[in-house]
Amino acid sequence: MEGPALLRLWALAAPCVAAALALGVARAAVPEHRVLPELRVSAETGAVFVHELEREPFLEAFAGREEDDAPVTFRAHLWDHPDLPRWLRFVQRDGGQPGFLYGCPLAAELGTHRLQVLAYNRRTFATVSQSLVISVTPAPGGDAPFRAEFVVGDRNVEELLPEAARELFLRGSAGVWGRGDLHVINVTSALDRGGRVPLPIEGRREGVYVLVGSHSPFSPCLLAAVSPQSRSRCHRGQRPLASCYDTFAPHFSIRWCNLTLQEVRPGPTAPGPVWGSGVLEEGAGFEPPSAAAPRDVLPAFLVTLLVPLAVAALLCLLLGHLMCCRREGLEKRDLQTSDLQLFHHSSIAGDTRELRAMAGSRDVRRPLSTLPMFAVRPGQRRDPAGSAPLLPR
Ligand SMILES: *[C@@H]1O[C@H](CO)[C@@H](O)[C@H](O)[C@H]1NC(C)=O
Ligand SMILES: *[C@@H]1O[C@H](CO)[C@@H](O)[C@H](O)[C@H]1NC(C)=O
């Protein structure tokens, strides 16, 4: 008895359960998407460009429903393309850290690059997008010819990208170089140069290559660190020759054995694009030219319209005069012809008319002599015996 009753209950309940499930699935399948206002930044050729993707603006845009420390991951790609431009790289350690877009644009990258940045909330799967426009301008002083690449052993790449860390690094390199006009050209993770992922032990880092450029020659200290004696000491596992105090200590531990110095001779640089007067300054708004002063176009209009009309009217008059007033009519012809001739002519015309009238009223048969077979041509002879009768019998 109980079996069929249960079955009936289940049959009633099943559609409700299915509807509730479907509703829940539909809710979860459509996460929110918001768009932040466009952001414009600028970069210079020959210097490192770093854009930090901070989590806060994106967290605010996630409607603030979740607590503020939701993990956020970023993705970035060229607008309408799947990947980043060649010179730009992206790094984010984990959802609790900011992301960094960084790279060094060269002369080939002059112009604007439009990226789309997508932020995912890892709790709600909501997304926020922002378009980022990077305008790359030429470096005012040209490329730095003297470059030193330091290998920092105790850092990950994203730890050297914030402005403050780069400033600290430049202060250290200014100490060993003895110059103040240094700037960071490129920052690269050692992993991108074939380095190994460090063991997950506290304090182990990937290592970072930092390329620093200057317009002034290398200091004796740097030259000593790359000298053959120094290199041979490195091969023997000893410390390199140090002729000066390591001003990076204690913030950064530099691997002095891996220091490389490059001197880039400025080759014949291709002339860059020349900015015409139509290019707006950065940040300047477009001011349209004032409205043109109203011009008096009536004289031009009249000349264009009236002169052809007047010429056409003149031609019309001339033609009309020639055809109507200068016409040589019947009277003039008659006046110029002698009376005798006129009389002769009019009598012939009268006779012809009379003959025609008579011919029209006659209804006898036409004489055979008028038929074409009797039309004898001049000089032709006809045999009278074989000739046909002139009149019908
Ligand atoms: C910067 O480093 C990256 C990665 O090593 C490299 O591909 C790129 O050519 C470098 N850029 C410059 C201007 O040296
Ligand atoms: C650093 O220099 C040492 C000694 O010259 C060399 O064995 C090692 O491969 C270098 N490491 C890197 C990451 O270039």
Mean pLDDT per 10-residue interval, the chain, length 393 residues: 48 49 52 87 93 90 70 93 94 92 92 93 89 92 89 91 93 88 93 89 89 91 89 88 80 89 76 74 77 88 94 96 81 86 92 86 69 61 53 54
CA nearest to 209, candidates 180, 188, 229, 239: 188
- The whole-number pLDDT of residue 3 equals 47
Residue 174 near residue 219 (C-beta atoms within 8 A): no
Indicate which ligand has the atom closest to the C-alpha of 45. Answer: 1
Start-to-end CA distance of the chain, whole Å, equals 138
Residues with a CB atom less than 6 Å from ligand 1: 104, 106, 186, 188, 192
Convert 321-343 into a string of H (helix), E (strand) and C (coil).
HHHHHCCCCHHHHHHHCCHHHHH
- Hey, is 219 helix, strand or coil? coil
Contacts of 58 (CB under 8 A, 6+ apart): 36, 72, 119, 128, 130
Ligand nearest to the CA of 151: 2
pLDDT at position 375 is: 57
Closest listed ligand to the CA of 257:
2
Q: Which residues line ligand 2 (CB under 6 A)?
A: 234, 255, 257-258
Among 152, 231, 257, 259, which is best to mutate for testing ligand 2, by the most ligand atoms less than 8 A from CB? 257
Read off φ and ψ for residue 316, nearest 5 degrees.
Answer: -60, -45
Taking the C-alpha atoms of residue 229 and residue 221, their distance in angstroms, rounded to an integer, is 13
Closest ligand 1 atom to the C-alpha of 46?
Answer: 13
Please give the domain boundaries of the chain with CATH numbers for all domains.
Answer: 33-137 (2.60.40.10), 146-263 (3.30.70)
Pocket test for ligand 2, best of 150, 209, 258, 260 (most atoms within 8 A of CB): 258
User: How far apart, in whole angstroms, are the C-alpha atoms of residue 206 and residue 200?
Assistant: 11
Are the C-beta atoms of 158 and 262 separated by less than 8 Å? no
Asked if 74 and 90 count as a contact pair (C-beta separation under 8 A), the reply is yes
What is the per-residue pLDDT for 391? 57
Q: Is the dihedral of CA 242, 243, 248, 251 positive or negative?
A: positive
Determine the pLDDT at residue 150: 93
Contact assessment for residue 224 and residue 241, using Cβ atoms and an 8 Å cutoff: yes
* Nearest Cα residue to atom 9 of ligand 1: 87
- The predicted pLDDT at position 243 comes to 74
What pLDDT, on a 0 to 100 scale, did the predictor assign at position 347? 92
CA-closest residue to ligand 1 atom 5: 188
Site to probe by mutation for ligand 1, drawn from 188, 210, 260, 264 as the one with most ligand atoms within 8 Å of Cβ, is 188
Cα–ligand 2 centroid distance for 343 (angstroms): 136
Residue for token pair 């006659």: 362
pLDDT score, position 6: 47
Q: What is the pLDDT of residue 190?
A: 93
